[in-house]
Structure 1
Amino acid sequence: MTSKYGRSPGGYLWAIIEPLGMILMLSVGFSLLMRAPSLGSSFLLFYASGYMVFQQYKVVVSSVENGINYSRALLNYPAVTWLDALIARFVLNALTNILNTILILGGVLYFVKSTGVLDLYPMLIAMALASLLGLSIGSLNCLLSGLFPVWKTVTKIINRPLMIASAVLYIFEDMPMQVGNVLWWNPLTHLTGLMRQGMYSTYHPQYISITYVVLFALVPLAVSLLFLRAYNRTIINQDFG
């Protein structure tokens, strides 16, 4: 916690300011272009409900994929393993963003004076699956970027349009069928819809498949952990080199 958040002025405040700033920018920008969001009447609540679960995935991926490189000094000690490094980064950043989500969504609900009834179950499932998916893709990126450094550049290219393709700025039902058929294969589209299902009592998305998201997460996770176990020393030595 100290090494990640204690090196810059403000520390933990930046973990809250960054997503809050993005939500405010989206809300102000789109409120100038549209009369109302796809759900409800508050742009702030609409974009907060989609962005925070996307942020959960993004933060966990970023922390886990850099876990070995970030903790390489500690990996000199025999008692500290590559798995310890990944788990520590995962737990710290997942819990930090969950706390941020509670604070930001709670603040937004208070600010917009929402009278809607929240359904916490789909919201908790969405955040848990976003964490699992982030752990899975982060572990896979850790493996591939450790063995093939060019993979870091590839992931940057892939991630640039990811927020647009994850139904953060709109709801799945707004898209034409041809576009929706493609977006369905993005597991994050299911998670943003699940989060909004809990935030909006009148929203009942029919496209969500929790089974698909779980399988999408578990298969890469199993493969990456298996190969990390075999090649972690190669990756560590390359990082040190």
Structure 2
Amino acid sequence: MTQPPSAPPSQVPLPQARPASGPRTLKEVRKHRRFASLRAIGALILREMQTSHGRQAGGYFWAIAEPAGGIVLLTIIFSVAFQVPPLGTSFPMFYATGMVPFLGYLDMSGKVAGAVRYSAALLAYPAVTFMDALLARIAFNSMTQIMVATVIFVTIYVTGDTRTDPQIDQIAIAIAMMLMVGAGVGVMNCFLFEAFSFWQPLWSIFMRPFFLLSCIFFMFDDVPQPYQDWLWWNPLIHIIGQMRAAFYPGYTGDYISHVYVFGLGLGLFALGLMLLARYHRDLQNS
């Protein structure tokens, strides 16, 4: 039985190529990556909430209740020893306007500094980048610190005769300064902690005296020279001063420099990102 002659190679129909399912244009590629990054950040935030207090009854409630309760308890204790505050008539409010920014900065900078190390296993996946890990921790802790500050200040204001006039816009500026410096220091330390093993314990030692050098119990205006000029370079001085100016209308805080605080925070944030972008792969593999 003879078979029909095969068609010449030039006449053999070629299989049709499947249309590409992925993004084709540069705009679509950027959109795809943006949504992938947002999904990764959202997943990391949910993971943060679950691992922090997910196994405890009450869940995320304790992320707010623990720092808020600690500050309220310390406020009550110190109120017994310090009856008359250096500013205003309510020591709990005076103490809270110093302690809330200080502890908020410490928590933000510490959590962001450990973001890459905390998510090291997930960074092995191409869909998760070190930037996703940083932004997730910044977003989660910013939300937490805002809620902590709200709970503490509202509780003290409602339950006591503080004789203050809180200005919401000025409080928002103080919180933004706190978060900016905390994030900037945290991103910079995120690189330094991984690059130099001695830096983390050295930084811990360096931060211990800042509890006394940030004007939590006293006013910056009362510090004599030349120590006042030296303390001015501490960004927490400006943040706490801004918070107190937001609650006490008669307090001007002429020394407060928003440009210095935001500039320092943005500068450290940008420098830390550049170093991480250049060396984070080497640090992961070392």
TM-score relative to the length of structure 2: 0.78
Q: Which of 74, 86, 93 in structure 2 is aligned with 1:25? A: 74
Residue correspondences, number: 237
Letter in 1 for 2:211: M
CA distances 1:41-63 after superposition (whole Å, capped 9, x unpaired): 21111111111111221111011
- Provide closer, same or farther for how the CA distance between residues 174 and 19 of structure 1 changes in structure 2, counting only shifts above 3 A: farther
Q: Which of 224, 229, 233 in structure 1 is aligned with 2:277? A: 229
Distance 1:77 1:197 in 2: 47
* Aligned: 1:87 with 2:147: no
Q: Which of 83, 99, 113 in structure 1 is aligned with 2:147? A: 99
Partner residue in 2 for 1:204:
252
Letter in 2 for 1:18: P
- Which stretches in structure 1 are left out of the alignment for 5+ residues? none
Output the aligned Cα RMSD.
1.7
Partner residue in 2 for 1:167:
215
Deviates more, 1:182-191 or 1:34-43: 34-43
- Return the offset for 1:105: 0.6
- Return the offset for 1:113: 3.4
Distance 2:89 2:273 in 1: 44
Deviates more, 1:223-232 or 1:212-221: 212-221
Q: Which of 15, 20, 34 in structure 1 is aligned with 2:64? A: 15
* 8 A Cα contact 2:104 2:145, kept in partner: yes
User: Secondary structure of the residue that 2:226 maps to in structure 1?
Assistant: helix
* Aligned: 1:56 with 2:88: no
Letter in 1 for 2:250: T
* 8 A Cα contact 1:23 1:51, kept in partner: no
- Which stretches in structure 2 are left out of the alignment for 5+ residues? 1-48
CA distances 1:150-193 after superposition (whole Å, capped 9, x unpaired): 11111101111112111122221121122211110101100000
CA distances 1:100-142 after superposition (whole Å, capped 9, x unpaired): 1101110110111334321122211111111111111001111
- Return the offset for 1:26: 4.6
CA distances 1:199-236 after superposition (whole Å, capped 9, x unpaired): 11221111101111122112222111101001111222
* 8 A Cα contact 2:79 2:92, kept in partner: no
TM-score relative to the length of structure 1: 0.92
Letter in 1 for 2:212: I
* 8 A Cα contact 2:116 2:190, kept in partner: yes
Q: Higher relative CO (CA 8 A, sep ≥ 6), structure 1 or 2?
A: 1
Distance 1:162 1:19 in 2: 20
Partner residue in 1 for 2:203:
155
Deviates more, 1:61-70 or 1:162-171: 162-171
- Provide closer, same or farther for how the CA distance between residues 23 and 164 of structure 1 changes in structure 2, counting only shifts above 3 A: farther
Share of identical aligned residues, percent?
33
Distance 1:207 1:86 in 2: 32
